[in-house]
Chains A and B, each alone.
Chain A
Amino acid sequence: MFEEALCLFTKELTNPIVRMKKENGQMVMVPLFQSHENIVGEVIIEPTNGKKVEHNGVKIELLGQIELYFDRGNFYDFTSLVRELDVPGNLYERKTYPFEFSCVEMPYESYSGINVRLRYILKVTISRNYVNNIVEYMDFIVHNYSPAPLINNSIKMEVGIEECLHIEFEYGKSKYHLKDVIVGKIYFLLVRIKIKTMELEIRRRESTGSGTNTYVETETLSKFELMDGVPVRGESIPVRLFMSPYELTPTYHNINNKFSVKYFINLVLVDEEDRRYFKQQEITVYRLNEKS
């Protein structure tokens, strides 16, 4: 498509730039914001080849959208803010429009899952008569931080198959921040089956839609071997799993009634005939502001 004008966003460099994966898999660097931040920048429009651009006005929008993949094309804008940048007229040369959205409420974090995407964009529209509007987008990312929870109980549980296997496991916490370490212990109270290995998995469950249209996708993000060989009764196996290598997000509860993301740690025991015995525990993942 022939572009009659080039839009550029500039932005003050106070915010960090992070990597984001685009739909086509390319990695791009985009700025990172959190809720209630001022989003300040400039739009530079430069007509190509010095040609005049006639327009019915220039505006910039800040949009927060939830996109459900099975519902292609339908965006739910949960946030939409508009700033008029120019009244109708003609553009002859490069022109810079500063803009500012102050104290923007961005309650949800950017998220890109299997069936759902939550994105924030800045959208510049040069409206024109008779011909297509010139539209330019820019993604940015929102992360919201939460404080460390006041109550963070350990997870402790005894499970087993009667007369076959009894184990007790204990994880130090039930709420973890993204760079946290899962520390725990597995006690073997009774072992009558020949266990070959034991693993700890971190699983993500993404549920989208509601009612009958609920789609649930579960991903295993980590397979972390905890034990090798057959334990005997009375053994205790230490658990120490660093979460930082995995691409985790915080737990999301019912975001705009559209989707939820939950995390589980799943203890899996595999016997010599490759039968798997497992017990899954939900954990809450939160984003801790490392700077504070």
Chain B
Amino acid sequence: MLEVNDLRVSYGHIEALHGVSFTVAEGEIVTLIGANGAGKSTTLRALSGLVRARSGQVRFCGKAITAVPAHKIVALGMGHVPEGRRIFANMSVQENLELGAYLGDSRTLAADLEAVFGRFPRLRERRAQLAGTLSGGEQQMLAMGRALMLKPKLLLLDEPSMGLSPLLVQELFETIVEINRRGTTVLLVEQNAAMALDIAHRAYVLETGRVVLSGPAADLQDDPQVRQAYLGGHAV
């Protein structure tokens, strides 16, 4: 579904990604893990068109998208929940969700809203409330709900667990698995590598703008190098 080949991105004269390659197949949960500054968020931002790749190819559902503007990539079926959630704080919960369906068919809006409210009942309770007044966990639900309004084929999640309590993180990851089970492919970027590897099928490890390791998530969980660097533990 997604093929990334030798992707390079620069900010000014500084190259942030030095040729990143990976693939995501339909139905998978794939996770990119790595330390702060490894280039995980930049990779997602390049996929959804928020930053331009300097070179390299991205193919999404068979279509080259490196030169496609961000708003058209959304239309192709890629949803992106950005780092820090980036909800529209001064608008109501419902308005945020309606913006998620900006490109959608207005005739299915009510049904799509219902579907999201079904998945996140808390959002229904707070539909008229200003989004900026929600708790961190609710804001994350809203950001995900907003991206799901268009029923994307591929959902990019950037650090969804950031700033949430362990209990909420647990709940959030169950939701991600559930969304995946219902047919949405997921590309997950996480600093919480242990949780990410728990739910992912495959994983790539990024270090300073390069993929240094990849494989089935279960294998990486047992990899001594990964355990040492990202799981904060010692080999059992």
A and B together in one complex: no
